[in-house]
Structures are given as C-alpha cells and as structure tokens.
Amino acid sequence: NAGVTQTPKFQVLKTGQSMTLQCAQDMNHEYMSWYRQDPGMGLRLIHYSVGAGITDQGEVPNGYNVSRSTTEDFPLRLLSAAPSQTSVYFCASSLLAGENTGELFFGEGSRLTVL
C-alpha cells in the first residue's frame, strides 16, 4: 500500500496565485485532515473530514478550502496565496472517526513557499 500520498512535494507561488495540494489515501480511511507545520508552533489543524461529503474547520482555516467528494481524496485549495501561507503542509488520515481518530497516518509533506 502507498499509504498517504501528497503532491506536489515542493511548490513556489507568487502572492495572489491559487493552487491545490493533492492528498490521496488507499487505506479506506474515513477520517482525513490537513495540518500546517511552522517552526516553534507544532502542527496546526486547517480542515478535516469524517467522511465523503463532510468537512469542518480546524484551528487555522482562513485562506483555505477543502472538499471530500470521495473517500480516497482530500484536496486543499489555496484561494489567493499570501506569504503567511509559506509552510510545510501535511495530510493525515485514520481509520475511524471517534475513539481512534488520533491514530493518524501522515503523508511526507508538501513544502510551499509564497513570494
């Protein structure tokens, strides 16, 4: 199994550009989420989903959109990139929402730089 696959691994954008970070998992996980990692701030939850057609906001949702049309895919869209969105983005999934939600499998990350 590939696990959680993120693309692209690296991306450079100009301020105002839009883009989509792709995330796919092949483990039939119900729960998927996006985090951003910044130095000294740990991992902060952007958006999450407990199943196809269901999404909700995390700690830092502003400037990002998500959708969950299938169980496998959970893309993260940056509508108008800003330098403050320069970060490393991680997609993560787990088997069940609820008790075992925390047992997350993470992708390798996508490093985004906004100039």
Partner 1 sequence: GQQLNQSPQSMFIQEGEDVSMNCTSSSIFNTWLWYKQDPGEGPVLLIALYKAGELTSNGRLTAQFGITRKDSFLNISASIPSDVGIYFCAGSSSNTGKLIFGQGTTLQVKP
Least separation in angstroms between CB 47 and partner 1: 10
Least separation in angstroms between CB 108 and partner 1: 5
Radius of gyration of the chain (CA): 13
Q: Does 61 contact partner 1 by CB under 8 A?
A: no
Q: Does 50 contact partner 1 by CB under 8 A?
A: yes
Least separation in angstroms between CB 51 and partner 1: 10
Of 24, 25, 35, 114, which one interacts with partner 1 (CB under 8 A)?
35
Omega prior to 8 cis, within 30 of 0 = yes
Q: Does 104 contact partner 1 by CB under 8 A?
A: yes
Q: Sign (positive/negative) of CA torsion 22, 99, 37, 66?
A: positive
Cα–Cα distance measured from residue 19 to residue 16, given in angstroms and rounded to the nearest whole number: 10
Strand partners, 33: 48, 92
Nearer to partner 1, 17 or 105 (CB): 105
Structure tokens at 94: 């787990």
3-state secondary structure of 84: helix
Binding site for partner 1 (CB under 8 A): 4, 31, 33, 35, 40-45, 48, 50, 56, 58-59, 90, 92, 97-109
